[in-house]
Structure 1
Amino acid sequence: MKTQVAIIGAGPSGLLLGQLLHKAGISNVILERQTPDYVLSRIRAGVLEQGMVDLLRKAGVNQRMDREGLVHTGFELAVQGRRVHIDLQGLTGGKTVMIYGQTEVTRDLMEAREACGAFTVYGASNVQPHDMKTDSPWLSYEQDGETLRLDCDYIAGCDGFHGVARQAIPAESLKTFERVYPFGWLGILADTPPVNEELVYATHERGFALCSMRSATRTRYYVQVDAEEKVEDWSDQRFWDELKSRLPADLGARMVTGPSIEKSIAPLRSFVVEPMQYGRMFLVGDAAHIVPPTGAKGLNLAASDVSTLFDILQKVYADGRTDLLEKYSSICLRRVWKAERFSWWMTSMLHRFPEADDFTRRIQQTELDYFIESAAGRQTIAENYVGLPYEIVQ
């Protein structure tokens, strides 16, 4: 089998890239290790930057998002019981974010891919990239006990942090930057109305908390927990009690609780590899970088990678601009590191660090106070939260 672009991974980044390429007349095949149901079972992010919303519209998969998604013009910071509104729309010249779950984005992209007849191989095990530094890269994979080959012009590694794409690159060709945080997020999904019409990021002496949502009737809440905590030690009641203790009294009093649909603990880390390409293979999204979820940047960074790679490949096939291929990593990394900085800053400001002394805690509080009490500070938070602009490929 032969195609122009081989994509490893049928998560949202792989599917979005495939949809954009298909609309541009560039053939592509996606290889995915799991089943469609497994891919759709992953509970992930739900805050989409303006740039990602625009990209989904460009891909033609925006109909349900525009109908069911919740446009948010701001969010709140709750600091030691005080609520501060960050006016995203007013501080950024009209930009907003969209609340629409990653699972729903993935479902829309899957349905669009099936409707247009583009080819996805599910249950493709032992995927291996070959000859990435030649003009004729290819992938081997196994399906139903048979070893198969997919020839291509380019490979997009959209298979996540634990995927095979990055692991196929010689270690000496990559530089890794990483920070592991000494806590995680315990999150639950519940069919309860949101406690607030906007997201609330709360910092408290007991730790961080986040009140988020997936819809007007489904909520997603998080509390900071020690890294060694076990999810089975947290009953629903213990979670609700802890969440309420970290919120301003008026929010806690009106919170509607209920049984959890899903409950899990996510570790927090910052991670980047450089460069994000090796020959004719390009790393996209979590395969190249991870951010702590505090800034809502993970899925959105993957979308900006997709946008950059699509723009480059479109110009390669339409105009013969192969000179642009070597620019992919540098273009992506400029935006990646800015998002890493914002996510690190949000995490550092809003969480309790067990090793922090009194001086460090006072500096942390003072810096947060400065940003929320300053018009320039609030604007800085807002422009980073809605997403920095995508760099033009030229």
Structure 2
Amino acid sequence: MEFNIIATTTFGLEAVVKRELQDLGYSNIKVSDGKLEIQGNEEDIAILNINLRCAERVLIKFGEFKATTFDELFEKTKALPWENIIPEDGEFPVDGKSIKSKLFSISDSQAIVKKAIVERLKKHYKIDWFKETGSKYKIEVSLLKDIATLTIDTSGDGLHKRGYRDRAGDAPLKETLAAAMIKLSYWNPERTLYDPFCGSGTILIEAAMIGKNIAPGIDRDFISQDWEIIGKEIYKKQRKIALGKIDHNVKLRLLGSDVDKRSILRARDNAENIGVNEDIQFFMKDMMDVDLHWDYGVVITNPPYGERMGEKEEIERLYKDFGKKFKEFPTWSVYLITSNENFEKLYGKKADRKRKLYNGRIKVDYYQFYGPRPPR
């Protein structure tokens, strides 16, 4: 079956996800804010869920049309071939959102869409009552400027949930954003990578997975595995292909330090869960006391932002120390995100490039300080 497939992403990461899709062999990619659209089949849904590092979810776009009245929303939803995807016992909850649309009541829009799908399926399956005891098909009606888009979620939990992080810290960085920070840097597996505020280890674990070519979704389940039209066999086949692509021979130099002992213990556990614990050295140490013996290394980090009351002075001192520390390493490149708008001033240097991103709901800047290129 052919589908319109949408990979959703955090604002600012569209270009990164587009490159991922191209690397997976896709072309004719339609890009808009927060989403990328391609044509594909059941196999492609499994490929994207298992392999995309920086996308948030993989959805099937089931219908898109103008709707300014509830009658219009009902009739156009009912006209779609829902029976092609939802079986007789399927569970199909409907979620919704509305922005700048005449149909602004989300609960009413959800109820109308649900009713329209029920009417369509009643006629097809010739039954009046749906038990909804089978597999789950999460539907969303999204209204934007009077255009209704109906999607079905194929991922379940967001793609950032790789399955390795049993224990996250107080302010965990999403795995998808950590992977994007690495993809947007000039790090490659031949260069040392150091995270001086490593927390629960997400950046370094994602780097190890990128370096060894471990697919991010290799170790977790997806909601569409249980669907009749996709099923476990397609996922099993794609997991097997992904396993065959892992590079077990690559040697990585990945270092992470933190002043918090619990964070380091968490980081080690998380790395062990995905099988990259031997590729990363985690140690409890203040960044100022860490000896770095290599040239042309790369720092990628998510330092504290000082969002809480009373932390401002402490954070400013930390950023100044950070700047002093890496003045000693002129061949190193430094990449970090923070919401602190005075960062460059405190760090003592203007960034070569700055990019607006979101860490959860916090608007951040991704600062990029380029060191010289390593000699070939």
TM-score by length of 2: 0.25
More helix by share: 1
RCO higher in structure (CA 8 A, sep ≥6)? 1
More strand by share: 1
Please identify the structure whose Cα radius of gyration is greater. Answer: 2
